[in-house]
Structure 1
């Protein structure tokens, strides 16, 4: 839950830092790993990986 709080509260203006946070956050949840990691393997879906993980992570936080 520490990672969740860190990523949720971290409002870093740096895009790269935000993506790194989301990456670590998503790896913390097995449900997100199975889905997002497959997308990560495809280079074309690299950006979609972070966007999708962000939506899923927000869903988990709100739920």
Structure 2
């Protein structure tokens, strides 16, 4: 089961959280306790998926 919370972009970038829309069909690298945020580092993402690449580019440009 997945649930999510809205967060300002600044907080999402700072925490490295995975967008809920990209959480489907990802494989967990780490156990994530219930109620904790899912981070990019917690999952294996498929970089060939256009949505993943676009989000990563967006986050990179926001950090610059």
TM-score (norm 2): 0.32
Specify which structure has the higher proportion of strand. Answer: 2
TM-score (norm 1): 0.32
Rg bigger for which structure? Answer: 2
